[in-house]
Structure 1
Amino acid sequence: MSDRVHYRHIADMPGLVLGAAQFSTFSFDRHFHLDYHIGLVTEGVQRQRFGGKTVLVGPGCVSLMPPGEIHDGVSDEAGGYTLKTFRLSPELLGSVAEDVGDGPRVPELPGALLEDAELAAQLARLFDVMRMSGQGGSLAVQSEWLRLLDMLLTRARAIVPQQASGALSPLQWQRVRDYCFAHLSEKITLDALAGICELGRFQFLRQFKQTVGMTPHAWLLRLRLEHACVLLSRSSQTIAEVAQGVGFYDQSHFNRAFRQAFGVAPSGY
């Protein structure tokens, strides 16, 4: 394994940088950061020392490093290791903590190693999606970002979880439906939907799920596919035009989603 590192700034999420690296011979001397680091070792094992102790970070673990925490990092195996890192500015983490928790805007997050294979795997998948697109503003990504950061900060005892918040009111639910029908061909964001309801983003996610029984992303995806069926049945539009008309700007994504929902490609409907 040769050493290589690649960083990607997420354009619509200021303060977030994704780092993807493979290390074999390179080692981190003792150092610190000015931002928060969430680290995932997906292959191999990294040996890390911080807070007077040495830990082994491997698949199934999530490493947390706050600003100012002195630590190092070196491969613990001859084959090296693969590392994925979310680098969050204090301002970005503070805004997330404000969304998902009941407490200080900037959480007290100590250096820690969490052994949670499910959380690590879900964070790794989100990392791959964000790194591939370079974007973080889609409804699906925004929702998953808040959900996983809530899990992470709760596990690290850095926030007090929000109390159950009930359901959307009939008026709020009507506003959401009206907005989605009116903007179906456009990008619909979590910020926009939460703003319509005059709720915080995470509060909206929880109340929407309580009201509908689906996440906003899953519900909106189904709405788009159902409307696509209507257009395919009643119009002379091409499949590409139908896909764009219901908010899919990638026809292959539309084809996959349609087949998964209905068991047949759009061309066979």
Structure 2
Amino acid sequence: MSDGVEYKRLAGLPGLVLGAGRFEAFRFERHYHLDYHIGLVTEGVQRQRVNADAFLLGPGRISVMPPGEVHDGAGECGSAYTLKTFRLSRDLLQRVATELTGSAREPELKSMMLEDPALAAQLLQLHEAMQLSPDASSLSVQSEWLSLLYCLFNRSGAIKPIAVNGANATLSPVHRQRLKDYCLFHLAEKITLDDLAALCGLGRFPFLRRFKQTVGMTPHAWLLRLRLEQACALLAGGKRTIAEVAQGVGFYDQSHFNKAFRQAFGVAPSAY
């Protein structure tokens, strides 16, 4: 297979560019970027030289590269490797950091190689989800994007963790009921993290933290279950086709509905 790379921009998230490539003969000569790079290798090993130090980027490791850092990259011993990258503009990083910390101060990211297989795997799953998504406004993508960037920046020491405790760490019963009523009324429609956070008068990341602390699930997992529970009620009524039920609870892809239903209840919708 020859060398090649593809880039993708997502509607709804200006300043982010996803990269996915396979390299063997191609070498990244010494260069720098004007944006922030988060790099992950899925197969093989890339050797990076940053200033006078050499690092090996392989599966389970995360490369964090701030703007202006001079570095290179090539396959270790000339071997092939696959590389996935998130490129964040300074404006995007500033917006995200403000949302995560409540402070307008730019995070102090330094070039580093993090050994964290669990976080690397989650970032790769997010990269794949973003590659498959036409935009970045889905509830699952929004939630994972903010949560994983918080974990990465906290892990790298670029930001301080936000304490979540006391009465302000949870959602009130009024907010919980408001969320449920809204989601049931709009179940057939697209529901975003912005929608849910606004119902509680919170920013997206504070809402995420409080929701998980209160409910014990992410908003996406909770909403998915609500959709599937409503699907069960509609299927039991026997008045709608499976396709009608799927669309009625917010699944526009019937195969996705069938897969989610089987994972939740152990049978296909047709057997319920």
Per-residue displacement from partner, 1:233-262 (whole Å, max 9, x unpaired)?
Answer: 214221111101100011001001111111
Q: CA deviation at 1:52?
A: 2.7
- 1:14 is the counterpart of 2:26: no
Task: Identify the residue that residue 239 of structure 2 maps to in structure 1.
Answer: 236
Question: What percentage of aligned pairs have identical amino acids?
Answer: 63
For the pair 1:251 / 2:250, whether they are aligned, the reply is no
Deviations 1:144-197 (A, max 9, x none): 111111110001111111111510012221221121111100111011111111
Q: Secondary structure of the residue that 1:211 maps to in structure 2?
A: helix
Q: Which residue of 1 aligns with 2:192?
A: 189
Match of 2:128 in 1: 128
Match 2:268 to one of 262, 265, 269 = 265
- The 5-angstrom pairing of residues 78-227 of structure 1 reads 78-164=78-164, 165-227=168-230
Secondary structure of the residue aligned to 1:77 is helix
Unaligned runs of at least 5 residues, structure 1: none
How far is the alpha carbon of 1:61 from its aligned partner? 0.6
CA distance in 2, matches of 1:173, 1:236: 31
* TM-score for both structures, normalised by structure 2: 0.95
Consecutive unaligned residues of structure 2, counting only runs of 5 or more, are none
Matches of 2:128 and 2:151 in 1, distance apart? 19
Which residue identity lines up with residue 201 of structure 1 in the other structure?
R
Partner amino acid for 2:192?
Answer: T
- How far 1:117 sits from its partner (Å)? 0.9
Question: Which one is further off, 89-98 or 53-62?
Answer: 89-98
Contact 1:102 1:160 in 2 (8 A): no
Which runs of structure 2 are paired with 1:31-110 in the superposition (5 Å)? 31-110=31-110
Aligned to 2:54, the other structure's residue is in SS state strand
Q: C-alpha separation between the residues in 2 aligned to 1:30 and 1:78?
A: 17
User: What is the distance in 1 between the residues matched to 2:247 and 2:106?
Assistant: 40
Does the 8 A contact of 1:16 with 1:88 survive in 2?
A: yes
Name the amino acid aligned to 2:36: Y
How far 1:135 sits from its partner (Å)? Answer: 2.5
Q: Which moved more, 1:1-10 or 1:244-253?
A: 1-10
Q: Residue 208 of structure 1: SS of its match in structure 2? A: helix
Q: For residue 25 of structure 2, what is the aligned residue in structure 1? A: 25
- The count of residues paired between Structure 1 and Structure 2 equals 269
- Return the letter of the residue paired with 1:139: L
Q: TM-score, normalised by structure 1?
A: 0.96
- Tell whether the 8 Å contact from 1:103 to 1:159 is kept in structure 2 after alignment: no
